[in-house]
Amino acid sequence: MSTKTMIIAKNLVKKYEEITAVDGISFVINRGECYGFLGPNGAGKTTTMKIINCMSPLTSGNVLVCERHVKTKPREIKALTGVVPQEENLDPDLTVFKNLLVYARYFEVPSNEAESRVEELINFLNLSEKIDSHINELSGGMKRRLLIARALINNPEILILDEPTTGLDPQVRHMIWQKLRQLKKNGITMLLTTHYMEEASQLCDRIAIMDKGKILIEGNPVTLVEEKIGKEVLELRINNAMENELLQKLNRFEFTHDRVGDTLYMFSRDGRELLQYLVSNDYPLVLHRPATLEDLFLKLTGRGLRE
């Protein structure tokens, strides 16, 4: 396999009875790229992942993975893919070691290779001490690491990570990021969903922000934020009346703004002068910070709760 594109999805639609979970999305994922799907709960991220991995049949559209059609070559596609599912499904009847060994057999890894591969992966994810433990004796972080080890058992070309660090402490999260970056260096193609914007910024070459089954925007996270939001954000805790008065005085500065509850957000490409003005005029400035993916995410998907 030497082609540049790894996954091509065209007009992908997935309906569950009355719900349309994925509503006509198209995207292309390149070899060696880390591509992130972001979006509120129920946006259709997991569904998209499941279709790519042939776990869930699509309603209409076309998905090619490694030049194979998901409808006709599911066994081949699954042989090339590793999956860390959103919902933990380790085998509670087996030990850590056996979990991986049994999985190696599903992929027909030759038995003399399988054991050394299992040990290698257990070391890679720092689980050696738990090698003979049963799954119910592991912490959440260990389970997630084991899921990642399991997803790597077949040396996959594509690694699908559905919220790999949700609910984990910062130490484990950073460790997982390290490992994922290392894998990426070795050329693996990664698909990642996450609710942590920092994680997406750290790992993804490109992201797609989804909502209600559609892709709202796609691109490099840094470029997107710069284009759509700016470089800096100023947060002010002021009421509506003060806001109107202030905005009139700020005519000469270039910025966009957004009010949420008691806070006024001001997005700017170069906020230094604006900041000076606000500070010298004693406005109740709460925060001056770089613009982030989270600003973009909230701008696009709104601030209302989803579920």
Partner 1 sequence: MKSIFKVPDISFRAYRVWQRNRDSYKRFYKANLIGSLGEPVMFLFGMGLGIGGYLASMEGVSYIQFIASGIIMVTAMYSATFECTFGSYTRMMGQKTYDGILATPLTVGDIVMGDILWGATKSLISGGIMLAIIIIAGLMKGPVIFIIPILMLIFLVGLMFASMAMIATALSPSYEFFSYYFTLTLTPMFFFSGVFFPLEKFPLIIKGISYLLPLTYAVNISRSLVTENFSYIALSGFPLLLALTIILVIVAVNMIEKRVVK
Ligand X SMILES: Nc1ncnc2c1ncn2[C@@H]1O[C@H](COP(=O)(O)OP(=O)(O)OP(=O)(O)O)[C@@H](O)[C@H]1O
**Cβ atoms < 10 Å from Cβ of 245:** 10
Partners of 209 in the β-ladder: 38, 217
Dist CA 191 CA 294 (whole Å): 19
Residue 89 interacts with, from partner 1, Mg ion, ligand X, none (CB under 5-8 Å by kind):
partner 1
Applying CB under 5 A, the span of 45-53, 55-63, 207-215, 286-294 interacting with Mg ion comes to 45-53
Residue 21 interacts with, from Mg ion, ligand X, partner 1, none (CB under 5-8 Å by kind):
ligand X
Q: Are 189 and 29 in contact (CB under 8 A)?
A: yes
Residue 132 interacts with, from ligand X, Mg ion, partner 1, none (CB under 5-8 Å by kind):
none
Of 22 and 34, CB closest to Mg ion: 22
Work out how close the CB of 206 gets to ligand X at its nearest, in angstroms, rounded to a whole number. Answer: 18
Q: Are 290 and 223 in contact (CB under 8 A)?
A: no
Residue 43 interacts with, from Mg ion, partner 1, ligand X, none (CB under 5-8 Å by kind):
ligand X
Does 46 participate in binding Mg ion (rule CB under 5 A)?
Answer: yes
> Quick one: which H or E segment has residue 207?
strand 206-211
Cα torsion through 307, 50, 172, 97, rounded to 10: 130
Dist CA 69 CA 86 (whole Å): 24
**Cβ atoms < 10 Å from Cβ of 194:** 22
For residue 36, give both structure tokens: 């992130």
The one among 105, 174, 181, 272 contacting partner 1 by CB under 8 A: 105
Q: Are 119 and 96 in contact (CB under 8 A)?
A: no
- Among the listed residues 107, 117, 104, the one whose alpha carbon sits nearest the alpha carbon of residue 76: 107
Of 46 and 81, CB closest to Mg ion: 46
Of 35 and 255, CB closest to ligand X: 35
DSSP label at residue 281: T
Q: Are 148 and 172 in contact (CB under 8 A)?
A: no
Of 17 and 282, CB closest to ligand X: 17
The one among 27, 107, 124, 283 contacting partner 1 by CB under 8 A: 107
Does 48 participate in binding Mg ion (rule CB under 5 A)?
Answer: no
| Window 49 to 88, contacts with ligand X (CB under 6 A) | 86
Residue 41 interacts with, from ligand X, Mg ion, partner 1, none (CB under 5-8 Å by kind):
ligand X
Number of H helices, E strands in the chain: 11, 14
Work out how close the CB of 199 gets to partner 1 at its nearest, in angstroms, rounded to a whole number. Answer: 22
DSSP label at residue 95: B
The one among 36, 44, 82, 164 contacting ligand X by CB under 6 A: 44
| Window 249 to 278, contacts with partner 1 (CB under 8 A) | none
Does 74 participate in binding partner 1 (rule CB under 8 A)?
Answer: yes
Interface with partner 1 by CB under 8 A: which residues? 16, 53, 55-57, 74-76, 78-79, 81, 83, 85, 87-94, 98, 102-103, 105-108, 154
